[in-house]
Structure 1
Amino acid sequence: MTDGPALKDLLPAGLRRSWAADGSCPDLDLYSLFRARRIAEPHAPAVLDAKGTLCYTALDRKVRCLAAGLRDLGIGPGDVVGVQLPNHRNAVIADLALAALGAVALPFPVGRGVLEAECLLRRARAVAVIASVRHRDFHHAADLLALARSLPDLRHVVAVGPGAAPEGTTAWSALMRGDARDFAPARPDPDGAARILVSSGSEAEPKMIAYSHNALAGGRGNFLASLIPDRTPPRCLFLVPLASAFGSNGTAVTLARHGGTLVLLDGFTPEAALAALREHRPTHVLGVPTMVRMMLEHLDTTGERVPAPTALVLGGAPLDETTAAAASAAFGCPVVNLYGSADGVNCHTGLAHAVPPTDGTGVVAGRPDPRVTEIRIADPDSHRALADGTIGEIVSRGPMSPLCYVGAPELDARYRTPDGWVRTGDLGYLDADGVLHVVGRLKDIVIRGGANISPAEVERGLASHPQVRDVVCVGVPDPLMGERLAACVVPRGERAPTLEALGGHLAAGGMERRKHPERLLVVARMPLTPAGKPDRAALRERLTAAPGAQGAPGDRPPLAQAG
């Protein structure tokens, strides 16, 4: 064990203890929770992936082998270990082995570049990293080994096959051959750090947020519990990477807290996702709206039907009414709009509605659950609580609240209040019934000639156009206006809409002309980041590199006048 990053809990200790006392948190570490599930249902399926079925007993055996091997490398309580693996049983084994050691997992998705990996590992002071020898065109283990010389804390790179481990790395297969019978799991403090979530956010470098065992299994576990009406162990198909913030509901929540089954795909394609639905009949499907729109397009083409899950849980990006209604009809189940982030906020619309309710700004966020996190509306400057119906910054605090940002005290100062509330940077209000409505972001705007435009507002307006299957709006640099708004569209059917048609549709819906997009980029499929979200940076790069994607001067709305 080495001296890792200082992971100070920014919440009052008495408040944390109160959630354990009232049962909101289980007050056990993740491996102990998992072990209890393994004892209760030893032959229940834990993981369904490309290799087949892995039951709880077999999974536990592999976890203890890896934990013993990592222990022999000198990894122990409090050490941070990076994990860059695809959605596969090995990612789950690594999660649980690190929990059994009392170490802190730092997962990040495959496909993320070496520069971002270097930033994460350096700032977290990771002592080891577990990575794939090869995943598609990436050679993560070799790339990370090359970083070791510039990272004084990084002592080990564990290479996971298939394929031979590069010289200088430690082979996963060698660690798995150890005798785990003498392995004694650690018993870390349930309120101590268990996992670091990574969020791209709006910062120059990715944000890292430390979560405790109780925050994951308790707060986040209560979120999933609210979507399990009969309390039977869920079978969750994760379309998002387990290494993403959304994917943190996998090992810690689905397995350790609820004794369920993880259905995993090495990588998302609509065909593979629909095949998994047919073959494994998951109770819950967790993904982002863009993924579901791709699946809907495939279903429109083939006309096939799929078994109805208990719920389709969509987060990571705004959900529009058109997608929600089409998904509920196609999948035959309630669509749950999940409003959440790695920073520590969670709210959803639940199972009471087949299609989530809407308001004038789009799909609402739902009713906050204090067993997950309490939500208030505050003045962005004074942090003073505002009355119901008043728009202000959404702040949250509850059992799922994280400890702190990792290696970034400036982010703690910016996004946490003195009494521990998380500042989301989102604008919203609570109505008279206590339902949360999200109306925009403090920062997520395009500034055109001094006037602010919300890309999310324009996306909501364009989503109902009959020729639009999916849409993302981004700002692109402009020498005259500073920025102009571009619409990136996946067309519905063979004909793509024109920029003029999109503007007409927005005008018919009452949107003022200065907010209409001035650029149009038509794509066959929306590019996704390694975390499974729409890749806005890639779209912006394509727009700046493609003169043909720009609108004609006559299409440009007038410059807004300063008032």
Structure 2
Amino acid sequence: MTVTLHDLLPARLRRSWAVDAAVPDLDVYSLYRARQIADPHRTAILDAKGKLCYTAMDRKVRSLAVGLRGLGIRPGEVVAVQLPNGRNAVIADLAIAAVGAVALPFPVGRGSLEAECLLRRARAVAVIAAVEHRGNTHAADLYALSPTLPALRHVIAAGKGGTAPEGTIPLADLLRSDPADFVAERPDPDSPARILVSSGSEAEPKMIAYSHNALAGGRGNFLGSLLPDDTPPRCLFLVPLASAYGSNGTAVTLARHGGTLVLLDHFTAEAALAAIREHRPTHVLGVPTMVRMMLERLDAESTSQDGTASPDELPAPTALVLGGSILDETTAEKARRAFRCPVVNLYGSADGVNCHTGLAMEPPESQGPGVVAGRPDPQVAEIRIMEPDSDGLREAAEGAVGEIAARGPMTPHCYVGSPDLDARYRTPDGWVRTGDLGFLDKEGVLHVVGRLKDVVIRGGANISPAEVERELTAHPLVRDVVCVGVPDELMGERLAACVVPHAAEQPTLDSLCELLMERGLERRKHPERLLLVGELPLTPAGKPDRKAVQKRCAAEAV
């Protein structure tokens, strides 16, 4: 049975955005097809295999759509995708949209237990997975799970010819279907198109259903606000296309804006800098940790004596767009100097919130605590600050700190297979409760102060790890840092700092606390444990893996 995906936003409000042209009111494949007709030879993809133009990719999309339909994939059914960044991931995205099905992408590297959870709750009828990627054998692993997943009918294996595990269907066979047999579905633009996956703070990953209009429209308006003119963007995605952040790839960069995707199947600082030099992207999309790694690589290049290119030779993008975790001003300023372009602080989540600081070279001046997240755009998501009331929630007083809530053209339908999350995070009139704390200043600029759940409680006192991390990045010996709570018999929890040193010289706990004193952070918020590491562990989506950090800090921090 197909999973039920209710739209928790009032239908009249959803339709009003289409009437007002805030969304294109076309399904994702139809948008892509219109872009292909308008400029058939424009480059759609630049990946490890080279260039692929809009028309050549459309033929592959049509072939795969015919193949999927031949397997019995019907409109409204869920098809999962676990592929690295590359043309196959994009072709799968568009083909699933073309047959009217719902895509459920999730990044390579996620283990079989998490994959089983996603496929079971979404009742996925098929999954397209890599035969092998960086030691992972996802297609075989997912096929082994199929007896426990009664809805799963097909495992489609993407790999070199003849390598598909027994029992799976080679993707190459489906791509040999005759594209002339293709007839596109025309799904309702307000019907579900994609399920975004977010690890969040829940025990199991959250899955959030988005419509064609919410993806290409609401999320598309976000990228549109970062385009200085009508020139189609060339976007280098350092994050997986299968992540929530990566949903700005196929549906937004290609289908909505007719741009080009520059893709790395695996992030390294060296590969990212090489892609910037070779392909000259207009927009580089990543997370702050990735940029800190790139900045360190640039520093190493500038001091090398072997003739390696210097940082000044980097072509300047239109913007460096950083989201996924808090962007501190130290990192932002270093990145502005190194890349010679605006650094956009993107505050957003899979749950349905988005706000950013825009293309100004200098960031907005802060008028209070927290991180400046920019002025909300109602064409993407209107933002309110809410506080508890006897009847539920009410809008907070002007300038007061409260829970950030969002509603607008990018608002998703619902959480997938999780009515408890719908009840907890959605209001009856469609607002999304983010679980984040913030306020709107007198200029209407959003400040993000912290998270309701990401709080360390030391002896009854609350500490926001994000606040401490933001200040510690100013330390000259700190390249990256994550702060977490570790269990303590006396205090309940103590704050630990996991630090990647910036140089051979290593910071001490005393030097970190001395910096925090100088920057005015009260002593009770200082870390009491320190763990030095060569690199932060990252989730498959490219964000710092706080659970892994917490586990290591509990065992190793001193």
What TM-score do the two structures reach when normalised by structure 1? 0.96
Does residue 1:481 correspond to 2:491, yes or no?
A: yes
SS where residue 379 of structure 1 aligns? strand
| RMSD (Å), alpha carbons | 1.0
Does residue 1:97 correspond to 2:95, yes or no?
A: yes
SS where residue 475 of structure 1 aligns? strand
2:217 matched to which residue of 1?
Answer: 218
Give, in angstroms, the shift of residue 387 of structure 1.
2.6
State the alpha-carbon separation in 2 of the partners of residues 496 and 455 from structure 1: 21
1:113 matched to which residue of 2?
Answer: 111
Does residue 1:63 correspond to 2:71, yes or no?
A: no
Give the counterpart of 2:382 among 338, 360, 374. 374
SS where residue 69 of structure 1 aligns? helix
- Contact 1:362 1:460 (C-alpha < 8 Å) held by counterparts: no
1:72 matched to which residue of 2?
Answer: 70
State the alpha-carbon separation in 1 of the partners of residues 246 and 89 from structure 2: 11
Give, in angstroms, the shift of residue 356 of structure 1.
5.2
State the alpha-carbon separation in 2 of the partners of residues 362 and 439 from structure 1: 4
Aligned-partner residue type, residue 543 of structure 1: C
1:136 matched to which residue of 2?
Answer: 134
State the alpha-carbon separation in 2 of the partners of residues 166 and 357 from structure 1: 56
Aligned-partner residue type, residue 214 of structure 1: N
2:260 matched to which residue of 1?
Answer: 261
Q: Could you report, residue by residue, the CA deviation over 1:452-488 in whole angstroms, capped at 9, with x for unpaired residues?
A: 1110011011111111111110111222222111111
1:472 matched to which residue of 2?
Answer: 482
- Contact 1:427 1:441 (C-alpha < 8 Å) held by counterparts: yes
1:502 matched to which residue of 2?
Answer: 512
Aligned-partner residue type, residue 511 of structure 1: L
User: Would you say how many aligned residue pairs link Structure 1 and Structure 2?
Assistant: 546
Aligned-partner residue type, residue 351 of structure 2: D
SS where residue 291 of structure 1 aligns? helix
Structural mapping, 1:151-166, within 5 Å: 151-162=149-160, 164-166=163-165
State the alpha-carbon separation in 1 of the partners of residues 522 and 509 from structure 2: 15
Structural mapping, 1:27-426, within 5 Å: 27-162=25-160, 164-303=163-302, 304-305=310-311, 306-355=314-363, 357-381=365-389, 382-426=392-436
SS where residue 501 of structure 1 aligns? helix
Give, in angstroms, the shift of residue 359 of structure 1.
4.6
Aligned-partner residue type, residue 282 of structure 1: P
Q: Go from structure 1 to structure 2 and tell me whether the alpha carbon gap of 1:256 and 1:199 turns closer, same or farther (over 3 Å shift).
A: same
State the alpha-carbon separation in 1 of the partners of residues 66 and 488 from structure 2: 57
Give, in angstroms, the shift of residue 507 of structure 1.
1.1
State the alpha-carbon separation in 2 of the partners of residues 18 and 314 from structure 1: 31
State the alpha-carbon separation in 2 of the partners of residues 300 and 362 from structure 1: 29
Q: Could you report, residue by residue, the CA deviation over 1:509-534 in whole angstroms, capped at 9, with x for unpaired residues?
A: 11111111111111112221100101
Aligned-partner residue type, residue 325 of structure 2: A
Where does structure 2 lack aligned partners over 5 or more consecutive residues?
A: 303-309
Aligned-partner residue type, residue 297 of structure 2: H
State the alpha-carbon separation in 1 of the partners of residues 136 and 461 from structure 2: 42
- Contact 1:134 1:162 (C-alpha < 8 Å) held by counterparts: no
Aligned-partner residue type, residue 441 of structure 2: D
Aligned-partner residue type, residue 407 of structure 2: R
Give, in angstroms, the shift of residue 362 of structure 1.
4.5
State the alpha-carbon separation in 2 of the partners of residues 107 and 426 from structure 1: 25
Q: Go from structure 1 to structure 2 and tell me whether the alpha carbon gap of 1:495 and 1:360 turns closer, same or farther (over 3 Å shift).
A: farther
Give, in angstroms, the shift of residue 212 of structure 1.
0.1
SS where residue 365 of structure 1 aligns? strand
The worse-fitting range, judged by mean Cα deviation, of 175-184 and 100-109 is 175-184
Identity rate, percent: 75
- Contact 1:337 1:356 (C-alpha < 8 Å) held by counterparts: no
SS where residue 178 of structure 1 aligns? coil
Aligned-partner residue type, residue 17 of structure 1: R
State the alpha-carbon separation in 2 of the partners of residues 326 and 444 from structure 1: 27
- Contact 1:487 1:519 (C-alpha < 8 Å) held by counterparts: yes
SS where residue 383 of structure 1 aligns? strand
- Contact 2:126 2:152 (C-alpha < 8 Å) held by counterparts: yes
Where does structure 1 lack aligned partners over 5 or more consecutive residues?
A: 551-563
State the alpha-carbon separation in 2 of the partners of residues 103 and 39 from structure 1: 23
- Contact 2:357 2:363 (C-alpha < 8 Å) held by counterparts: no
- Contact 2:130 2:157 (C-alpha < 8 Å) held by counterparts: yes
State the alpha-carbon separation in 2 of the partners of residues 420 and 539 from structure 1: 35
- Contact 2:155 2:169 (C-alpha < 8 Å) held by counterparts: yes
Give, in angstroms, the shift of residue 353 of structure 1.
3.2
Give, in angstroms, the shift of residue 540 of structure 1.
1.7
State the alpha-carbon separation in 2 of the partners of residues 445 and 116 from structure 1: 25
2:305 matched to which residue of 1?
Answer: none
State the alpha-carbon separation in 2 of the partners of residues 48 and 180 from structure 1: 23
Give, in angstroms, the shift of residue 29 of structure 1.
0.2
- Contact 1:428 1:440 (C-alpha < 8 Å) held by counterparts: yes
1:437 matched to which residue of 2?
Answer: 447
What TM-score do the two structures reach when normalised by structure 2? 0.97
1:561 matched to which residue of 2?
Answer: none
State the alpha-carbon separation in 1 of the partners of residues 363 and 15 from structure 2: 37
Q: Go from structure 1 to structure 2 and tell me whether the alpha carbon gap of 1:491 and 1:360 turns closer, same or farther (over 3 Å shift).
A: farther
SS where residue 47 of structure 1 aligns? strand
Give, in angstroms, the shift of residue 414 of structure 1.
0.3
- Contact 1:357 1:363 (C-alpha < 8 Å) held by counterparts: no
- Contact 2:370 2:438 (C-alpha < 8 Å) held by counterparts: no
